[in-house]
Amino acid sequence: MIDLRSDTVTQPTAAMRQAMLSAPLGDDVFGDDPTVNALQERIAQITGKEAALFMPTGTQSNLCALMAHCDRGDEYIVGQNAHTYRYEGGGAAVLGSIQPQPLAQNSVGEMSLADIAAAIKPMDCHFARTRLLALENTWNGHPMSQAYLAQATALARQHGLAVHLDGARLFNAAVAQAEGDPVTASVRRIVDHFDSVSVCFSKGLGAPVGSALCGSRELIEKALRWRKVLGGGMRQSGILAAAALHALDHHIDRLADDHVLAQRLAQGLQGLPGLSVRSAQTNIVFVDVADGRGPALLAELKAQGVLATGLIGLRFVTHLDVDAEGVDFAIACIRRFMAQPLAANGTGSSPSGIY
């Protein structure tokens, strides 16, 4: 099976499993799991933040950030299609009593500066208090530009807002924008614009579980309480942190390989009648299929042993468990399907979900 649904589907490597097996453990709720503490110190150092907190999921990491930045009745500005707003169950509103103010985004995920400024509420009892701007990087495979990050976060700070980054695929963005510098330097250039950042270990980095929230010590102390309230306090969680540490040591630079494979996939599909290919800057490729044939193409790919998702166009994600042979096989399957007459490959239902 060639699974291109998401980079969350990876299996731990043999070396990662060995690191998990041999990790020294403690009780992280008491703060004495040495492997968790080592991971938190490491990711804080990489991102240049004072402290970090290991979380079971990116959804919980983002939610703890929002609840640490905002109080009940506060508001955060966020993209209309941002993961924290659209794909995390409405947790900010449901559990945090934080009002989202979603704004339209362009094709690379940017909200206009004018829209952001106009959405900031005056300090008046009639309005929710605007306290936070949340951005996401990468955005559907696009690394956000440094110029936009600088302008948007500067605007937020001019109005007294804090800024949070959903950096689920932060390292993909950093690798794409490294320009010959160490990836850690590229990470810093991105996150220095933000008060907090959530980093996922189970996406491009290939760990089985886990994210981390990074920020000031004061913010992380608040987030620690919310993590406990939300059920995220784990005991001997160093067995999971060890996988994340291994990923930081061994899986960052290889993200460039995933980007090359995504480009290979996009180039192999370019120019096919009935297909429109979008984005191969990092490890995600979107394909729009004409004449309503997307669901049938997904079904045919599955029958041939290739998995993809189909919520916002067909999406293919490369990762450490995919190689050039698998990508070439997927290309060949798609080419065969698109060469058939329309009547031979009609429409069907489409699986949903974005991860």
- State in Å, rounded, how far the first CA of the chain is from the last one: 19
**Rg of the chain over CA atoms, in angstroms?**
21
144: helix, coil or strand?
coil
10-250 topology per CATH: Aspartate Aminotransferase; domain 2 (3.40.640)
Tell me 128's DSSP state: P
Instruction: Parse the chain into domains and list their residue ranges.
Output: 10-250, 255-344
- In single-letter form, the type of residue at position 41 comes to E
Contact 141, 285 (CB under 8 A): yes
What is the structure's pLDDT at 346? 59
Compute the distance between CA of residue 332 and CA of residue 263 in angstroms, rounded to an integer. 15
Residue 121 has pLDDT above 50, yes or no: yes
Q: At what angle do helices 146-158 and 183-191 cross, to 10 degrees?
A: 30
| CATH for the stretch 255-344 | 3.90.1150.10
Mean pLDDT along residues 284-310: 95
Mean pLDDT along residues 183-210: 97
CA distances from 31 to 26, 53, 210 (A): 8, 11, 17
What is the structure's pLDDT at 344? 60
Question: Is the pTM above the cut of 0.85?
Answer: yes
Omega before 138 within 30 of 0, i.e. cis: yes
3-state helix, strand, coil in the chain (%, to 5): 45, 15, 40
What backbone torsions phi and psi does residue 309 show, to the nearest 5 degrees?
-115, 165
pLDDT bucket at 352, cuts 50 / 70 / 90: very low
